[in-house]
C-alpha cells in the first residue's frame, strides 16, 4: 500500500477527540516516557496523516484515543524492556534510537500482520499494517519485535559489518563481563600465573557466525547473536573444569609445560573453518597463545571438552 497524503481537514467530532484525548495528554505522556527511558523523549505524530489510513471503527471514530493508546502501550513495553535489559540495555536503546523520538507510521513494506516497530533515522517507529490502524495496539512493541528492531537498526558508531548488534552486546554485558574476571582469576590460580590473559575475539566470532547463519539458515539457531557472551563464557569455564580434572593445580611439571608452550600467557576463543582433533571443539597452541576453538556449525556444542586434549598439545 503506497503512502497517502494527509487529510486536509478532519471532522469536528474527531478534532475534539484528538484535542481531549491526545493533545491535552501529550505533554504528560512524553514526561512519563522520558522518566521511563531516563532521558528526554518526544512523540511526533500527525493525526491528519494517520487519519488517511483510518477505516471504520476505533481509529476512524476516536483517533485521539487511539494515538494515546499506542503511546501508553509503547511505554508499558519499554518499561518491560528496561526491567529486563537493565541500565546497560537502556543505554543501548537510547544510543540506537538517538533521535529520542517515538512516531507512528504505515508499514508500507508489509513486514507485520497487524503492527510492529523499527528504527528509522534514529526514531523508534510504531508501524501499523495497511488497513490495520488501531488493531492489536498493545503488541506494537512486543519484546521480540522491539529486540529485532534494535538488532536491525544501523549502528551509529560504524558501518563495519563486524560491529556487534544489540543482542550480542547485551548478552556480553550480562553474561560474560560480570563473570570474566572471576574465571580469569580461577585459571590464574590453577596455573600459578597471576597475569594470565583471556583474549577476546567477539567481533570475529560474531562475523563468522553471522555468515554461517546466512549460509545455513535452516540448520542454524536463530538466537545465535543473543548467546555470544554466554557461550564464550562456557568455553572458558570448560577450561577451568579441564585444568582441575587434569590436575594442573597439583602438578608443577604440567604448569611448567603450559607456560613454556603458552609463552604469551594468553588464552582465547575463536571460530575456525575445520577441526584437527575432535568433532565438536578442541584446543590448539599457536604463536604462544592457547586457543579454545570450534567451527561455526559446532559452536556451543560440548564446550567443557574443548581443552580435554591440552596435555597432548603441550
Helices (H), the chain: 12-18, 24-37, 47-51, 58-61, 63-96, 143-152, 166-171, 177-191, 202-215, 228-245, 252-261, 310-313
For 75, 112, 139, 206, the CA distances from 98, given in Å and listed in that order, are: 17, 24, 23, 24
Does 133 lie in the same domain as 177? no
Does 298 lie in the same domain as 178? yes
Does 33 lie in the same domain as 116? yes
Does 92 lie in the same domain as 18? yes
Does 171 lie in the same domain as 137? no
pLDDT of the residue at 216: 79
Does 245 lie in the same domain as 134? no
Q: Can you read off the three cell numbers belonging to residue 127?
A: 508501524
As for how many domains the chain has, the answer is 2
Does 266 lie in the same domain as 198? yes
Task: Let me know if residue 53 belongs to a domain.
Answer: yes
pLDDT in tens, 10-37: 999 999 999 999 999 999 999 999 999 9
Does 210 lie in the same domain as 85? no
Task: Let me know if residue 160 belongs to a domain.
Answer: no
Q: What pLDDT band is residue 154 in, cutting at 50, 70 and 90?
A: confident
Task: Let me know if residue 103 belongs to a domain.
Answer: yes
Residue 277 has pLDDT above 70, yes or no: yes
Task: Let me know if residue 158 belongs to a domain.
Answer: no
pLDDT of the residue at 86: 87
Judged by phi (left if over 0) then psi (alpha if -120 to 50, else beta), residue 267 lies in beta
For 228, 235, 250, 258, 292, the CA distances from 289, given in Å and listed in that order, are: 21, 15, 22, 10, 10
DSSP per-residue string spanning 183-246: HHHHHHHHHT-TT-EEE--HHHHHHHHHHHHHHTGGGS-TTGGGGHHHHHHHHHHHHHHHHHHT
Does 170 lie in the same domain as 148? no
Cβ–Cβ under 8 Å, residues 56 and 115: no
Residue 199 has pLDDT above 60, yes or no: yes
pLDDT of the residue at 218: 67
Residue 161 has pLDDT above 60, yes or no: no
Residue 160 has pLDDT above 50, yes or no: no
Does 106 lie in the same domain as 52? yes
Q: Which of 152, 178, 205 is the last residue of a domain?
A: 152
pLDDT of the residue at 28: 97
* Rounded distance between C-alpha atoms, residue 235 and residue 187, angstroms: 12
Does 197 lie in the same domain as 227? yes
User: By residue range, what is the domain housing residue 305?
Assistant: 166-313
Q: What pLDDT band is residue 299 in, cutting at 50, 70 and 90?
A: very high
DSSP per-residue string spanning 154-190: PPTT---TTS--HHHHHHIIIIIHHHHHHHHHHHHHH
Amino acid at each position: 500500500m503506497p503512502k497517502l497524503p494527509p487529510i486536509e481537514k478532519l471532522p469536528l467530532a474527531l478534532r475534539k477527540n484528538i484535542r481531549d484525548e491526545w493533545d491535552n495528554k501529550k505533554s504528560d505522556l512524553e514526561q512519563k516516557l522520558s522518566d521511563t527511558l531516563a532521558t528526554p523523549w518526544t512523540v511526533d505524530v500527525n493525526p491528519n496523516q494517520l487519519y488517511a489510513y483510518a477505516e471504520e471503527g476505533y481509529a476512524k471514530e476516536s483517533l485521539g484515543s487511539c494515538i494515546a493508546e499506542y503511546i501508553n502501550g509503547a511505554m508499558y513495553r519499554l518499561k518491560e524492556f528496561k526491567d529486563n535489559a537493565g541500565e546497560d540495555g537502556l543505554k543501548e536503546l537510547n544510543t540506537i534510537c538517538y533521535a529520542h523520538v517515538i512516531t507512528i507510521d504505515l508499514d508500507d513494506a508489509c513486514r507485520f500482520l497487524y503492527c510492529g516497530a523499527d528504527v528509522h533515522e534514529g526514531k523508534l517507529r510504531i508501524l501499523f499494517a495497511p488497513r490495520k490502524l488501531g488493531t492489536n495496539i498493545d503488541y506494537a512493541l512486543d519484546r521480540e519485535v522491539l529486540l529485532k528492531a534494535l538488532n536491525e537498526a544501523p549502528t551509529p558508531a560504524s558501518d563495519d559489518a563486524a560491529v556487534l548488534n544489540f543482542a550480542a552486546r547485551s548478552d556480553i554485558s550480562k553474561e560474560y563481563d560480570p563473570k570474566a574476571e572471576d574465571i580469569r582469576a580461577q585459571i590464574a590460580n590453577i596455573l600459578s600465573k597471576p597475569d594470565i590473559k583471556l583474549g577476546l575475539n567477539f567481533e570475529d566470532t560474531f562475523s563468522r557466525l553471522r555468515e554461517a547463519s546466512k549460509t545455513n539458515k535452516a540448520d542454524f539457531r536463530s538466537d545465535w547473536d543473543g548467546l555470544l557472551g554466554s557461550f564464550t563464557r562456557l568455553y572458558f569455564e570448560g577450561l577451568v573444569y579441564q585444568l582441575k580434572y587434569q590436575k594442573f593445580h597439583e602438578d608443577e611439571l604440567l604448569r611448567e609445560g603450559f607456560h613454556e608452550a603458552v609463552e604469551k600467557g594468553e588464552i582465547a576463543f575463536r571460530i575456525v573453518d575445520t577441526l584437527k582433533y575432535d568433532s565438536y571443539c578442541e584446543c590448539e597452541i599457536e604463536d604462544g597463545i592457547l586457543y579454545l576453538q570450534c567451527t561455526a556449525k559446532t559452536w556451543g556444542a560440548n564446550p567443557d571438552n574443548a581443552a580435554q586434549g591440552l596435555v597432548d598439545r603441550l
